Amino acid sequence: ASEAMTEVLKAARPTWTEYQLAGAGAEALWARGLHPALTLVAGERRLPLYRHATPTQDAIGRRAMVVFCARGYGLYANLTRFVTFGTIPDEDAKLHRHVREIEAQALNICQPGVSLDAVYCALAQAYEQHGFPHAIREHHQGGTTGYLAREIIANPTTTESLAANVAVAWNPSLPGAKLEDTFVILNNGALENLTFDASFPSVEVKGRLRPVPLSK
């Protein structure tokens, strides 16, 4: 799924419509035997407005977000990536940095035995520390994944606990910035990123490589 995402964002052009970008994403997934259960796209105009952006006929313009929930052999891989044409504005870069650091707080405590509400609370505290105390209420934050895009969506009352071999996909976001990958919790408590693509640009955050917008 991540290879399909990289392929499509490298091919994308500012004149493409959101429909075209979503369609190219679906085609790239099907070509790999993956079902594009969900392909979301927001271009330059709609990025600050919508976190869960179903595609439209708008041209994507100078930047775009693409979300895949791709299903293969019954299991889901969920990821979000961005592309920007030209230099990313400083304010946008700052928002993406905030989201990466917020996500890191959740990933750091994803261990067997930790409850989902504890992870949610860690995200809530991280949003507040970064100056966005209400952002956690503006979109769902993710949770466990597997045979559904999200099997359990974390909230303040989800007491179910994480366990080894459970997959998680967190979904922290701010207006114009979002981060999402699918991780599996290993027996030793480490996280394996199932949607990592070494050919997509990334930076290290708390010992993990996390994607940054692809600049063209």
Q: pTM to 2 decimals?
A: 0.97
216 residues of the chain, pLDDT tens digit each? 999 999 999 999 999 999 999 999 999 999 999 999 999 999 999 999 999 999 999 999 999 999 999 999 999 999 999 999 999 999 999 999 999 999 999 999 999 999 999 999 999 999 999 999 999 999 999 999 999 999 999 999 999 999 999 999 999 999 999 999 999 999 999 999 999 999 999 999 999 999 999 999
Element spanning 211, H or E = strand 208-211
Q: How far is CA 25 from the centre of its chain?
A: 15
User: Three-class SS of residue 24?
Assistant: helix
d(CA 85, CA 88): 8
3-class DSSP assignment, residue 201: coil
Exposure letters 146-162 (e unless 16+ CB within 10 A, then b): beebbbbbbeeebeeeb
Angle at 154 between CA 149 and CA 157, to 5 degrees: 145
- Could you give the C-alpha distances from 111 to 165, 168, 191, in angstroms and in order? 11, 11, 9
Domains of the chain: 2-215 (3.90.230.10)
